[in-house]
Amino acid sequence: MNAEERKNLLYEVNLAGNCSNPIRIKGEMVNLTTGEVGLRSLHVTCKDRRAIICPSCSYLYKADAWILVSSGLVGGKGTPEEVQSHPRLFITLTAPSFGTVHTIKSRGECAGFTRSALQSGGGGFCVHGRPRICRSRHEEGSPELGRPLCRECFDYEGAVLWNAHASKLWNNTVQVIRRTLAETGGMRQSQLKLMAQLHYLKVAEMQRRGLIHLHAILRVDGPNEIEADPPAWLTTEVLASAVRHAARTAIAIGFDGQGRRWGDRLDIQDLGIDIQDTTKIPSYVAKYATKTTDGTKEMARKFHSRRQIQSLIDDPHARMLALTSWDLDHRPAFEPLRLRSHAHSFGFTGQLITKSRGYSTTFAALRGVRATYMSSRNIGDPIEGTFRYEGRGYDDPKASELAELLFSMQRDLRIEIAQARRAAPSNAPEASP
């Protein structure tokens, strides 16, 4: 590659914002500076949230997710700062058990090794001749974690169908919380709306065992205007107790007529206590939001065939979950769940991040601000035209590698600058020229 070709490649990647897998669009374009008209191809960013697909777009998505969550907790980007004094909770809702899996408990031993399992005589073997308990202490990152003690005992259909109903279960949970708050205040829900509004942001995380886990921020504001306070009786404790009630009682009735509920593990954290939580929680959410189902490229996109699942996924537990989702799609009762299209997310059909309208700003608004900023930096001449989709990726496969390299260099540089700023004492005398 000669110097001119290298320069062009660099320019192309720079124009596409260091995106690894940009979208190619083509159309009749007018260069607004030169007046030149012509048919041109252009690369625009893929905007993929997953780091394994595009480090650069994922980095921006992560930053947007952070701002989105944070502004709902402390205000900013159009959300008033008064939200800081309103009841705010961070809750984690988990799926029930579909079979014992290897895990690390707080004291270090595996979950399979429980007192109740021993007391109930569960110490022996399952019908498939496998031990019912595990006495090992697993290391963090060990491949057995989240894998069933016996795959034949594990209820794969139950697990996939639970994932497929998780979004519905969440919606029902929010309804129960609203209803419970109204009952506590001794009023109807329509009356509660005139006094308070419940806002939320939730993010779905795939657990190692292949089941969805929901983290949500809940906030109660006054009526109409977000800055208004909710009524005095609607405290953080009242909200927490409504959440506990909803987690116990909410139910999602599936197309098969079966009810699905949350598991026993519920975590509720009051965000009004530790100020540090208001920076920690946005980081957690942003981290979950850029992952694929199991962190690999194989699980990042829809599968096209059963055979593709069999050949691409090495891990037997993940493969079984994806195959179960694929196969359940054949049953007429589950057709509306489109389980084939969601085999790569083990049946989970929902959006990764969802929020109520009033929680804070939107991804679209944040992207809009960035697009305006980018065009003000004016990389290349401004152009106008009508475009159509032409394909994916760069013409030269080296461009994708270059994009990742440039992105990682810029990121490292940003980190170095931030570290240097933190290390430098703020009252240091300015360097003499």
- From candidates 107, 115, 128, 357, binder to Zn ion by CB under 5 A: 128
Q: How many residues bind Zn ion, per CB under 5 A?
A: 14
Minimum CB distance to Zn ion, residue 307 (Å): 27
The interface region with Zn ion, picked from 101-109, 155-163, 292-300, 339-347 by CB under 5 A, is: 101-109
- From candidates 28, 36, 152, 274, binder to Zn ion by CB under 5 A: 152
Minimum CB distance to Zn ion, residue 57 (Å): 3
* Residue 54 interacting with Zn ion (CB under 5 A): yes
Q: Which is nearer to Zn ion, 152 or 416 (CB)?
A: 152
* Residue 110 interacting with Zn ion (CB under 5 A): yes
* Residue 402 interacting with Zn ion (CB under 5 A): no
Q: Which is nearer to Zn ion, 130 or 330 (CB)?
A: 130
The interface region with Zn ion, picked from 52-60, 181-189, 264-272, 305-313 by CB under 5 A, is: 52-60
Minimum CB distance to Zn ion, residue 110 (Å): 3
Q: In DSSP terms, which residues pair with 200 in a beta bridge? A: 218
* Residue 57 interacting with Zn ion (CB under 5 A): yes
First to last CA, the chain: 42
Per CB under 5 A, contacts with Zn ion among 299-328 are none
Q: Which is nearer to Zn ion, 358 or 393 (CB)?
A: 393
The interface mask with Zn ion, positions 1-40, x = CB under 5 A, is ------------------x---------------------
Q: Which is nearer to Zn ion, 99 or 263 (CB)?
A: 99
Contact residues: Zn ion, CB under 5 A: 19, 45-46, 54, 57, 102, 110, 126, 128, 134, 136, 150, 152-153
